[in-house]
Amino acid sequence: MNENNTTHSRFQIALVLVLAFLSGFIIMAIELLGGRILAPYFGSSIFVWGSIITVFMLSLSIGYLLGGKLSLLKPDLRLYGSFFVCAAFLLLPLVFAGNEIMEAIFLRIEDPRYGSLLVSMLLFFLPTAVMGMIAPYSVRLLVISTDGSGHVAGKLYFISTLGSALGTLATSFYLVLWFEVNQILITMCVALLCAGFVAIMAGVRNKQNPMINPGDKAK
């Protein structure tokens, strides 16, 4: 690998780690905001939080599974970036139609347990599942050899979980005090779009300037 390819590889590694951190931050921020979003219609009881947590765990598990399956193909930053772009667009109904969706469900389902569960599925399932695909695909992009895959996975999940921890603190301690919920969500959509476009452009650059992809050596 020449010096130019080495530079590209280091850039890709740094990029994937930063984006994994960002996805972890946003996932937990949205989960915390979920309680505040649902509260006006369904309250903030343990039923509501149970619904939110269940939906997030279920959607993330499916996202991990799908991301792992996609990672069996040749890793590509362009596909990786598309996860972020897709997640951003899937968050838009929460921003622009969330109240209408919650009101419609609230008027039809009296039990707050099932009402909050259905609303959580409609608002959070798809964007969270897509963001769940990021973690396993990130591992595939970073793995250089099968011997070091465990270390890479551990490092990646450390970065992602650290992002989740900081997202939890930042959202609960500061963001909800400084901004409206929709302002936070729109900012997160913009951050996801920017992250996705950066990854896609990096993938296009790699395609135009072929290099040894860190994930290719694992084959």
What is the structure's pLDDT at 209? 67
Residue 210 has pLDDT above 60, yes or no: no
Asked if 208 and 66 count as a contact pair (C-beta separation under 8 A), the reply is no
Write down the domain spans for the chain.
Answer: 3-134+155-205
Evaluate whether the domain defined by 3-134+155-205 bears CATH number 3.10.450.
Answer: no
For the segment 141-147, the average pLDDT, to the nearest whole number, is 69
**pLDDT for the residue 110:** 81
Q: What is the pLDDT of residues 60-98, one digit of tens each?
A: 999 999 999 998 888 889 999 999 999 999 999 999 999
Tell me what the mean pLDDT of segment 172-179 comes to. 93
Classify 14 in phi/psi space as left (phi over 0), alpha (psi -120 to 50) or beta: alpha
- Asked if the model's pLDDT at residue 22 lies above 70, the reply is yes
Q: Structure tokens of 8?
A: 């590209």
**Contact present, 105 and 115 (Cβ < 8 Å):** yes
Q: For the residues 133-139, what does the mean pLDDT come to? A: 92
- Note the pLDDT of residue 144: 65
Helix (H) or strand (E) run with residue 212 in it:
none
- What is 21-44 written as a DSSP string? HHHHHHHHHHHHHHHHHHHHHH-S
Residue 81 CB neighbour total at 10 angstroms: 23
Token code pair at residue 1: 């690998």
Pairwise CA distance, residues 37 & 192, whole Å: 20
Average of per-residue pLDDT values in the chain: 87
Distance, CA of 127 to CA of 61 (rounded, Å): 13
Prediction pTM value = 0.87
Mean pLDDT, residues 113-129: 95
SS3 per residue for 82-143 = HHHHHHHHHHHHHHHCHHHHHHHHHHHCCCHHHHHHHHHHHHHHHHHHHHHCHHHHHHHHHC
Region at 112 (left for phi over 0; alpha for psi -120 to 50; beta for the rest): alpha
pLDDT at 7: 44
On whether the CB atoms of residues 206 and 4 are closer than 8 A, the answer is no
